[in-house]
Amino acid sequence: MFHETRYTGTATPSLADGWRLERLTPPSRLFGANGLRTGPDGRIYVAQVTGSQISALDVETGLLETISATGGDVIGPDDVAFGPQGDLFATEPMEGRVSMRGTDGRTRIVRDDLPAANGITVHRGRLFVNECRVGGRLMELDLSGGAPRVLLDNLAMPNAMEVGPDGLLYYPVMGSNDIWRIDPEGGEPERVAGDLGVPDSVKFDSEGFIVSTQVYSGEVLRIDPRTGARSVLAALPPGLDNCTFVGDRLFVSSFTGEITEILGGGRTRAILPGGLNWPLDLTVDEDGNLYIADWTYFYVLRPGGEPRIRGMLSLPGFPGHLRGVSAVGGGEFIVTTANGAVARYRPASGDSEILAQGFDQLYGVAVAPGGLVATAEFGTGRVLSVRSGQVEVLASGLREPVGVAFGPDGTCYVAESGAGRIVSITGSGVDTVVDDLNQPQGILVRGGRLYLVDAGAKTLLSVDLDSNARETIARDLPVGSPPGITPKPLRGIPPFFGPEGPFAGIAAGPDGTLYLSADAEGSVLAIRKVQ
């Protein structure tokens, strides 16, 4: 399957009379870019965790082919390697397993008891894997099904690795910020280089030097394995993930989905542009700036501009993988995270404060005029309030609550995605406001109307809260799952983050513009009334 973008929907969004749509950011071609490996055919194979997809990129033509698609047998792949017969091995950290896709296109599970399985490499027909977690192991897997041979354990988050020309296995350790090596037959490990920029990959160039991406600093380093001496090949934005060579040409991946060629002399060239990975919730601050919660990134999109990074996972003070977000003024935001926390986030100063934590899959968050914070706990079916460190259950027994919004009178509205309805929470319980929906997610209240994104039906609706009259503003939106595809759940990697799922958020600007998170294609849409 060949696609110019990652979204497989073919219908063009249609708008009701009097409305128009503008894409504020272009659709993304990948679901981010994680592990890279050059295949036997000379193409770069790209693992994409959030999209459960593996794609092959032709660096000469820019053509992408989907090798393992969303909804397929491989779930949340993070790194890839090839066997001597051309079989493709993939680590699936959220599943704790390694899978092999044969040259016949069939996939089988090699092992499924490897928590946070991540770095992977094949050397002379032998398969080596590590676990990117605190206390992770580095091991050789028996392709015949026998027990793994553990070379090392209790590692602090090892990542993408490679066997060097000297026959030793080199691996980065993110938690200790260094690179190590060990004989594949076993023995004592040896530290090669330290005090880096948080290395998350190791590969080798044709002269036998280590090339390593640094997720925190954004540097691409060339390191002499004999002395540890290093030089900077390129300085890119933070968020680099992996690297690979096509001949002597060096390419690196980024969480944004960008694939960059390192040209030498500090020069670079993006051969595949980056974009939004997994845009979820949206919010607008008092100055009319739009903010985007993009899983591992937090962006600001000012009128007429392009998204600019305001925070990201590897930077200090970032509260965690973002889901819900609500601007509260003064450059502060109330956010929910994928590790079950509600936090106050101040990106300008790079700090955050946990308001409450320990919850099961939080999504939307809203702040009432009086400062009360409400959030939807998807995993338990509850709606919670947080104020002054105290947590109260506003409602329980809901089916997969996601979006939350307050009306001007303080009424709390909730998108109950599993029940296909919008409810209001009152002193006497829960009342249905809108029903017969498919999978409502993002909601907001403005000017006596409730706006909602029905991700299952791929529509944007407006409901008059007095008469309950409905208007379908837009159809065939690139939100939710691609047509005909049921994505398999992403289970998360505790304790770093819990189960993951889509969330098409919505926000409104001061001029009434509606902003939508087109999570399926990785863009942000603006929908406005025609003047």
| CA angle, residues 258, 46, 250, in degrees to nearest 5 | 65
The rounded distance, in Å, linking the Cα atoms of 216 and 239 is 6
Domains of the chain, CATH where assigned:
29-272 (2.130.10.10), 282-483+499-529 (2.120.10.30)
Predicted local distance difference test score (pLDDT) of residue 389: 84
Predicted local distance difference test score (pLDDT) of residue 281: 98
Question: Alpha carbon of 503 to those of 43, 249, 275: distances in Å?
Answer: 33, 38, 17
CB atoms within 10 A of CB 145: 8
Question: Alpha carbon of 309 to those of 38, 136, 280, 351, 526: distances in Å?
Answer: 30, 31, 15, 15, 20
Three-state SS letters, 143-163: CCCCCCEEEEEEEECECECEE
Predicted local distance difference test score (pLDDT) of residue 495: 82
| CA angle, residues 474, 476, 479, in degrees to nearest 5 | 95
Predicted local distance difference test score (pLDDT) of residue 333: 98
Range 161-167, long-range pairs (CB < 8 A, 24+ positions): 161/119, 161/120, 161/121, 161/128, 161/130, 161/202, 162/121, 162/202, 162/203, 162/204, 163/121, 163/123, 163/128, 164/204, 164/208, 164/210, 164/225, 165/204, 165/208, 166/208, 166/225
Amino acid at 350: G
Full-model pTM: 0.96
Q: Give 10-residue mean pLDDT values along the chain (531 residues).
A: 70 96 96 98 98 96 94 97 97 98 96 98 98 98 95 98 98 98 97 98 98 97 97 97 98 97 96 95 97 97 93 92 97 97 97 96 96 97 94 97 96 98 92 97 97 98 97 97 88 90 96 97 96 77
Predicted local distance difference test score (pLDDT) of residue 4: 67
Predicted local distance difference test score (pLDDT) of residue 1: 44
